[in-house]
Structure 1
Amino acid sequence: MKEFAVLLRIPQSGFRFLNFFLLLLITAILCIFSSPAFAIFSDISLNIPQAQIQNSSASYESLVEQGKAFYEAGLFTEALQVLSQASVGFYNTGDKLNQAIALSNLALIHQQLGEHRQAELAITQSLDLLNNLNSSKDRDAIIAQALDIQGKLQLAIGQTEIALSTWQKAADIYEQIGDRATLTRNRINSAQAMQALGLYRQAQKTLTDVQQTLTTLPDSSLKVAGLHSLGNVLRVIGDFNGSRTVLEQSLTLAIAIQSPTAIGDTFLNLGNTAFAQGKTQHQVGNTDLAQKEFEAALKFYQQAPINSAATTHIQAQLNQLSLLLEFFSQKQAENTFKQALPLSDQILTEINKLVPSRNSVYARIQLASILMGLTQKTSTPIFSNLNIAQLLSTAIQQAQNLKDQQAQSYALGTLGRLYEKNNQLADALELTQKALFIAQSIDASDILYQWQWQQGRLLKQQGDINAALKAYNTAYKTLESLRGDLVATNLDVQFSFRESVEPIYRELVELQLRTENIQGNLQTNQYNLKQARKVVESLQLAELNNFFRSPCLEPIVEIDKVVEQDKKAAVIYSVILPDRFDVILTLPNQQLQHYTTNIPQEKVESTVTSLRKSLTDVAGTYEVKQQSQKVYDWLIRPAEAELLKSGITTLVFVLDGELRNIPMGVLYDRQQDKYLIEKYVIALTPGLQLFNPQPLQKLQLNILTAGVGEERSIEGQKFSALKNVAQELKEIQTEIPRSEELLNQQFLDSNLQKELLATPFSIIHLATHGEFSSDPERTFLLTWDKLLKVKQFDSLLRIGDRSKSGNIELLVLSACKTAVGDRRAALGLAGIAVRAGARSTLASLWSVDDQWAAKLMSEFYRNLNTGSSKAQALQRAQLTVFAKEKSPYFWAPYVLVGNWL
């Protein structure tokens, strides 16, 4: 190992620092090559109207053309230099219009280099010049383009609402001057900003309008680019089928106009969509569907023509290589090696032909990262570590020569990751710190947290736990400052969240709980436990934001203030770590308690999976008790004495991982021969900070009931009849007379919207088929004529006066279920619960006999109407069914999420 350390040593000229994530880098680079915003704005900003430079000197015209060529080649520093010269030249000749154009383009280049302040200054100067010129169609068109660039800058730094407003100003100008093609590109950007704000209906309407407009435009490279951008945005918001349809239209058009560049770009983007869809399926455990999508992606990448743009062709090859990581298994190891070796050699040959630029630097980094991953997967390295180090050394040198600090940070970080992999911790830490310093200097938070995490990992491996904890805390704070912006705008984070973001939270909690165990100081221990609890809450929030692919959720209340609301309630946080199961217990007006059970994560997950399967078997009562008593022993048994001593009557769970897919009421105490529902009132929450528990308002309840009882076939899915839906709704109306009903043909989203706009209902009860999934496109409720997706449902409930939506005390989803085989399906339930605007959501985790469902719901409303809290009303209704039917299949699936009072 010592000889290897010497061989891998990097020359003193400067390459020593940084970390990286394989999946994070692969798709982050993919975004750089194929981002819709990048393609759109390269056309807008550097396509200088020739008419505007005819009156300038030939040298300035030449500089502008050079700047455009440099920019398109990824040579941003060179483009910055020549355009700066052109800007000065236009200023000296008094050509304010062309000076403004040059400044707009300089703003875009500064942004590419991570120089946000310089970018903002340049675009502000450009707009100031333009606004002081006499009005003309040319000036107005250039103002609109400058506003488009300004909107892009604002979106990049998280000012989403301001960006949306800026793009609307530009759109108004395009409308006035009749520039439909550029207006289309503008609206695509606006839709992405709307999506980031959680305005899904508006975004969907805008994209629909864009699609219609594109069909009316003449066939051209501009139309192809518009379809590319639309397809990419649809992929970002999770509409994979829509993305593929639009990109296929783009391919047909690209072939018709015989553009090898456009054809290559389209095949690349089609591959990217299939790749992203495959990752989504893989995350939820649909292995066969994931494999199918990966194979489709591979075919698309292989079809990118050799005569397309060099960077496009190389990127397609790199993505083919990265797919081998997804295909890899022990059975395929030999075949993977046979495919990867010649492809790697071919890619390296192609990269070496590229002129040094950001594209060439990132191509080298991505190749190195993929090779590192493949080397870990097989006993026979495809490239030696020395070869990978040399590949990264060249990338670092090129980035330094280009003065591209962002690329330099990525390259140094990846080299640091290589050192970490080979246990050269001191060198890896030095590289990581330098990469971190560069990321800080350019205010690149989306890079910064990666290196802070890597620094924490290295310090932990060196045994410096306190320093590691500090580094992890810094990474966590950086992520918190980004909030959902990272999830909304970074395609990679959406589809590799579990690999690239979630581990930071979990590893930080592990360190905090470990420190609590070894330090012994009560004050320090309590601080660490509170911090661990806070991080668990933040992880729950981050998961939900990733589910929606937007920064739509923010904490609304402090944890301790929530706990003070109910003196008889205890809050139980579960944390599943690789080698143990941790519980943090929050009791009213007491110190936090912490319990640990040493058990592998695989054992916990297999037990929960078996329990979930047994619960949906009517005859599975014995198996349920066998499995659920294990979970009881991990989660409840250690805290039993404290719960009894504190007089606790209600348990509120903040659950981790697959535990969310099982109802807590079914946990079995073998010593007392009782289920947990027989001992405690129970509620769930994805995070205390997301709900502010308030007692059920002492007002006369009114309810909107809706349901589909007849058999339906919608969007290729067949839904069986729910024969007792009509009876269920009738019995509810008996308990709560102030009601409106939408049954069968009347249950349309338009009618639901009309009722919600007309009346501020306190309860909304939907008795219909539905499914909760970790994929928002597969989380839906059945109306008479469509599948109402979670994002549409969310917008529907909030479409009226927001003060009215706040009056929804309870949303009830009867006859729904969690997706079979989806390990994180309950994210869909949590997503609906949080975004619905209701204080509480009552739902079923699997479809149950609707006759029993009707009885349970009737009993629930009877108890609710006589003064019980929501959680008490549910407990009593479940115990009523339990008294008549012991099988958990009938009484256990119902869970209350949110406000339990």
Structure 2
Amino acid sequence: MAKKQPRFFCKILTLLLCALLGVSLSLLLGWSKVTAFSQSHLESLSLYKGDSLTEKSGFYSPLLIGEQLRESTSHISNSDLIQQGKELYQAERFAEAATIWQQALKAPQENPLVEAMVLNYLSLAYQQLGQWQQATQAITSSLKLTQNSKSTTQQAKLIFAQALNTQGSLQLAQGQAEQALNTWQQATAAYTEVGYASGRIGSLVNQAQAQQALGLYLQARKTLAQVEQALENQPDQQLKITGLRSLGNILRLVGDLDDARRVLQQSLAVIQGAGHVSKQDLSATLLSLGNTARTQGDTEAALVYYQQAATNASTRITQIQAEINQLNLLIATKQLQKAENLRNQLQPKLNNLPPSRSTIYAQINFGKSLAKLEKGQGESAKLLASAVQQAKSLGDQQAESYALGYLGGLYEHQQWSNAQELTQQALQLAQAINAPDIAYQWQWQLGRILKAQGAIKPATAAYEVAFTTLKSLRTDLVAINSDIQFSFRESVEPVYREYVELLLNPGENTEPSQSNIKQARQVIESLQLAELDNFFRSACLQGQIVPIEQIEQSAAAVIYPIILKDRLEVIVSLPQQPLHHYSTKVAQQEVEEVLEQLRQNLEKPYTTPEGKALSTKVYNWLIRPMEVGLSQSQVKTLVFVLDGYLRNIAIAALYDGKQYLVEKYSIALTPGLELLGPKPLNKSKLKTLVAGLTEARHGYSPLPNVSDELKAIESEVPSEILLNQTFTSSALRKQIDSLPFSVVHLATHGQFSSNADETFVLAWDKPVKVNELKDLLRSRNQTKPEPIELLVLSACETAEGDKRAALGLAGVAIQAGARSTLASLWSVDDASGTQLISKFYQELATKKVTKAEALRQAQLSLLKDPDYRHPVHWAPYILLGNWL
């Protein structure tokens, strides 16, 4: 894998000296960009989101090992320098710690292992400072010394294992996830060899993070299950307490919130059952529980946990962090009087904290909270200015960039010149330490400031740089923690949409150029992919992909609607023509309200005048301006790349006043501009694996008509049937692995949701979640590289009341690795569903038509049937992906 820039969630080394705080097991988790405790992104660090420094996430530290070695080499003259460096690092004075350790290296060394140990420390300090080349050199030298050493003592092996751990963190920080996984596997083996339980457990957790970053969801969960089992059998209570807390934090990051809370409560139970209660462990676990409850949306429980964490805190900084969490949550839930009371208690406490990165971040987060309160702007500015000065005194450029940037943001709406100057300073610092995850925020902020002053061209340029930076961070957005799932729409998505707005509206009475339109389309494409990656926490679109406009024999028009704050933009691509663009001045809120009302009307079993009117209104927005162009181009298929809530409506049911859209065109949807290996379905090799449930399972009602549906499919195409007890997840995998099915048809309950954990299909033995479904359906790729041609999800539906539920449907289509997916947006009548599916397979097997046309003919067969002519029966069926 090519070396990439150090990127998202990679500079998180501030926990290193926890062992020196009296904790027998320190809390290092590999210092990787995926861990819970990133401090390179203040939005995820912000205390109400949970990534506070009190949540120590790992299991062991090179400094603990160093203490063991130091005891056996106490005669070494530079030991005082090593200890001084540790103390500076613990105080988060990283530049000074690095300087002291450099001095320690200059002293004569009798034992090369001491030098290896110090180089390991130095690499971690350099990573904190964003000095990646120096970090790499230091850890490379450390590994060489340990490998060349003839010592076979336990200390030597432990230092070698820790050096591997640090190297893995650096590799993951630089985008080398596969190498990091391999390195951490070696570290696990090394710790196992010397019987160092905490090291083994910690390196397993590191492995899980690398697996998560690679999109190996099931492998990551299996690795974490190993960790949980090891902790259950662990007699060392301190290791069990810390390990369970760390495991709970990681489970929260990978989105397993229920398991995260369960494991954290186990940690709490062990603490409370111990002979003496450690306030440090108690407050840290309570804070983690608060953060998890907050992520789950359980704000009442979160507030209670935060209050308890503050009450039991053993250090001032931990107490303050818990109280800032609480303050932010009180503000978010509009409990303003309680927030004001807490604010008054917090302000004097901050003044007495010693200088450190934790103190700076506490000032920043408190300042951000104050800015949301009435008359809090002035105090917020003072806190942020103090944070800037403190960061300068510590030589901490990362913290200084954050403080300057947020101070610039505070002035964004009132003092433009100050805001611009501060933002540019923050950006320069972020670029100096090669931190694009910080830089994009200030590039975006600079664009907003310039736009507000009417400088459209410079603003567009600033947005372009921010977009480019975010695009380079895409693989980091895949490994993003679950907190970002709540801030993605606030801290990432607006960059894309505001950039598109500038591209398509370059000035008054000025039409966008072709290059601007192309770029706008590309920006929305990048947003779609980032959104899907963020949703699933793994890279979705993989394999051989082809731009949809290069597909031969397509005869298709591609339509890209884009929902902006005050308008609906539409870009249309017709065969062999320049891109077309038109827009409608309509507020985003109105668009979403109309789409919601249309969806509700389409799901009613009877036609209403209001429903027809709404359908026509949306038709006028999306299709009417291009009716003539579509007709002249003689296109047969309309391919939609839908945006936002448009994904939840049945495009086939748009009405021009005389006809539904499906009566004029075949219709397909695609999550992006590219498809996985598009080609026509080979009718001569058509073979189907059909699995279904007719009986009630896991709290879901029976589906009696599924039996008829399966018989209808079997009568049209050669099929292998798994019904009820024979339809287990393992049986499905076995069939997919053993036989070359081109179509997989699942006739069972299922749900598509904006929450990946609530997106599943129901097998006899269990609900199969979307990430498991990916692993199951793609398992044959190891022996049969050809993907499944068509995945049919019958009886599945989008989650009720979830405005972004179709995101889950798009994700399933991509994660399954199938060229095409046929599914329904809402639950349909069993009898009409059976008729439509039967007609679809009949068209597919006996006629030379595309999959999109086969679906169209099946829908028209219901439209012409007096019993099923209403859209509720035929409109929800949609084809995603390759329509050929």
Superposition TM-score, scaled by structure 1 size? 0.90
1:849 aligns with: 829
Q: Match for 1:870: what amino acid?
A: K
For 2:279, which of 248, 251, 260 is the aligned residue? 260
User: Of the candidates 612, 619, 626, which is equivalent to residue 625 of structure 1?
Assistant: 612
Residues 1:776 and 2:768 are matched in the alignment:
no
Deviation at 1:639, TM superposition (A): 1.0
Query: Is residue 327 of structure 1 aligned with residue 333 of structure 2?
Result: yes
Q: CA deviation at 1:628?
A: 1.2
Q: 2:400 aligns with which of 395, 408, 415?
A: 408
Structure 1 residues 317 and 369: alpha-carbon distance in aligned structure 2, compared to 1, 3 A threshold: same
Pair 1:732-2:721 in alignment: no
2:768 matches 1:788: yes
SS at match of 1:363: helix
Closer/same/farther in 2, CA of residues 554 and 412 from structure 1, 3 Å limit: farther
1:368 maps to: 367
- Distance in 1 (CA, whole Å) between partners of 2:282 and 2:534 is 32
* 2:693 pairs with 1:711: no
Q: Is the 8 A contact 1:772 1:825 kept in 2?
A: yes
Counterpart Cα distance in 2 of 1:590 and 1:369: 49
Deviation per residue, 1:68-102 (Å, 9 max, x gap): 3332332223322333333333xx13321011111
Structure 2 CA distance, aligned partners of 1:578 and 1:803?
48
Q: Distance in 1 between matches of 2:313 and 2:358?
A: 18
**Matched-pair contact (CA < 8 Å) for 1:584–1:592:** yes
SS state at 1:164 partner: helix
Aligned counterpart in structure 2 of residue 589 of structure 1, from 565, 568, 576: 576
Contact 2:504 2:517 in 1 (8 A): yes
1:480-499 paired onto structure 2 within 5 Å = 480-490=471-481, 492-499=483-490
For residue 897 of structure 1, the aligned residue among 838, 858, 880 is 880
Aligned 1:168-317 pairs, distance under 5 A: 168-255=185-272, 256=274, 257-278=276-297, 293-304=298-309, 305-317=311-323
Which of 621, 624, 634 aligns to 1:647? It is 634
Distance 2:47 2:614 in 1: 40
- Structure 2 partner of 1:825: 805
Q: AA paired with 1:547? A: F
Which residue of 878, 885, 889 maps to 2:859? Answer: 878
2:384 is matched with which residue?
Answer: 392
The match for 1:84 is 102
Give, in whole Å, the separation in 2 of the partners of 1:491 and 1:87: 41
CA separation in 1, counterparts of 2:300 and 2:607?
Answer: 39
Unaligned runs of 5+ in 2: 1-39
Equivalence for 2:13: none
Question: What is the distance in 2 between the residues matched to 1:244 and 1:28?
Answer: 17
SS state at 2:99 partner: helix
Asked whether the 8 Å contact 1:709–1:725 carries over to 2, the reply is yes
1:555 Cα deviation after fit: 8.5
Deviation at 1:180, TM superposition (A): 2.3
The structural deviation recorded for 1:114 is 1.7
1:537 and 2:525 are equivalent in the alignment = yes
The answer to whether the 8 A contact 2:213-2:479 is kept is: yes
CA apart distance, 1:65: 2.8
| C-alpha displacement of 1:216 | 0.9
Residue 157 of structure 1 corresponds to 174
Instruction: Trace 1:753-772 onto structure 2 (pairs within 5 A).
Output: 753-772=733-752
Distance in 2, Cα, partners of 1:551 & 1:275: 26
Equivalent position amino acid for 1:83 in 2: W
Once the two structures are superposed, residues 292-314 of structure 1 have per-residue CA deviations (whole angstroms, 9 ceiling, x without a partner) of: x1111111111113442332221
Q: Distance in 2 between matches of 1:389 and 1:819?
A: 44
Question: Could you say which residue in structure 1 is the equivalent of 2:410?
Answer: 418
The AA in structure 1 aligned to 2:317 is T
CA contact (8 A) 1:668 1:674 kept: yes
CA distance in 1, matches of 2:837, 2:551: 30
Structure 1 position 449 matched with structure 2 position 446: no
SS at match of 1:624: helix
Question: For the residues of structure 1 that align with 2:561 and 2:42, how far apart are their CA atoms?
Answer: 29
**Selected match of 1:887 from 870, 874, 877:** 870
Query: Contact 1:516–1:529 at 8 Å: present in 2 too?
Result: no
Alignment partners' CA distance in 1, 2:63 and 2:834: 62
Which residue identity does 2:513 align to in structure 1? Answer: N
Q: How many residues align?
A: 838
What is the CA–CA distance in structure 2 between the aligned matches of 1:46 and 1:114, rounded to whole Å? 24
Check conservation: 1:556, 1:689, Cα contact below 8 A: no
> What is the aligned-residue RMSD (CA, Å)?
2.0
Take 1:155 and 1:577, find their aligned partners in 2: how far apart are those partners? 36
Q: What is the CA distance between 1:688 and its match in structure 2?
A: 1.9
The match for 1:49 among 37, 43, 67 is 67
Match of 1:100 in 2: 116
Distance 1:365 1:191 in 2: 32
CA gap of 1:314–1:241, structure 2 versus 1, over 3 A, is same
Structure 1 residues 751 and 625: alpha-carbon distance in aligned structure 2, compared to 1, 3 A threshold: same
Deviation, 1:817, is 0.7
Q: Identity across aligned pairs (percent)?
A: 50
| Distance of aligned partners of 1:307 and 1:490 in 2 relative to their CA distance in 1, 3 Å threshold | closer
* Residue 700 (structure 1) aligns with: 685
Comparing both structures, which one devotes a greater share of its residues to helix? Answer: 1
Provide the rounded CA distance (Å) in 2 between the counterparts of 1:73 and 1:185. 24
1:252 is displaced (CA, Å) by: 1.6
Displacement, 1:859?
0.4
* Mapped partners of 2:482, 2:123: distance in 1: 24
- Contact residue 615 and residue 655 of structure 2 kept, 8 A: yes
Looking at both structures, which has the greater relative contact order when contacts are Cα pairs under 8 Å and sequence separation is at least 6? 1
CA gap 1:489/1:661 in 2 versus in 1, 3 angstroms:
closer
Match for residue 5 of structure 1?
none
Q: What are the within-5 Å matches in structure 2 for residues 558-707 of structure 1?
A: 559=547, 562-670=549-657, 673-707=658-692
Report the equivalent of 2:33: none
| Paired residue secondary structure (2:792) | strand
- Equivalence for 1:3: none
**Counterpart-to-counterpart distance in 1, 2:226 and 2:122:** 32
Contact 1:28–1:491 (Cα < 8 Å) also in 2? no
Change (3 A) 1:780 1:224: same
Structure 1 residues 749, 34: CA separation in 2 closer, same or farther (over 3 Å shift)? farther
SS in 2 for 1:801: helix
Is the contact between residue 27 and residue 492 of structure 1 (CA under 8 Å) also seen in structure 2? no
Q: Distance in 2 between matches of 1:338 and 1:318?
A: 15
- SS of 1:781 mapped into structure 2: strand
Secondary structure of the equivalent of 1:31?
A: coil
Query: Which string of whole-angstrom CA distances, capped at 9 and with x for unpartnered residues, describes residues 849-889 of structure 1?
Result: 11111111010000001221100000000100111121111
Q: Summarize deviations over 1:505-559 as a string: whole Å, max 9, x none.
A: 0001111100287445xxx700000000101111110110011023343585463
Aligned partners of 1:21 and 1:117: how far apart in 2? 21
Alpha-carbon distance between aligned partners in 1 of 2:113 and 2:470, rounded to the nearest angstrom: 41
SS at match of 2:691: strand
Deviations 1:447-497 (A, max 9, x none): 011111011111111111111111101001111111131341455433310
Identify the residue that residue 353 of structure 1 maps to in structure 2. Answer: 352
Q: Could you state the TM-score of these two structures normalised by the residue count of structure 2?
A: 0.92
SS at match of 1:742: strand
In structure 2, what is the Cα distance between the partners aligned to 1:138 and 1:29?
38
Structure 1: distance between partners of 2:227 and 2:601: 48
Q: For residues 246 and 733 of structure 1, what CA distance do their matches in structure 2 show?
A: 46
Distance 1:124 1:894, change over 3 A: same
8 Å Cα contact 2:55/2:284 also seen in 1? no
2:754–2:808 contact (8 Å) kept in structure 1 = yes
Query: What are the within-5 Å matches in structure 2 for residues 105-124 of structure 1?
Result: 105-124=121-140
Offset at residue 345 of structure 1 (A):
2.4
Measure the CA separation in 1 of the matches of 2:114 and 2:465.
Answer: 45
For 2:72 and 2:478, the matched residues in 1 are separated by 45
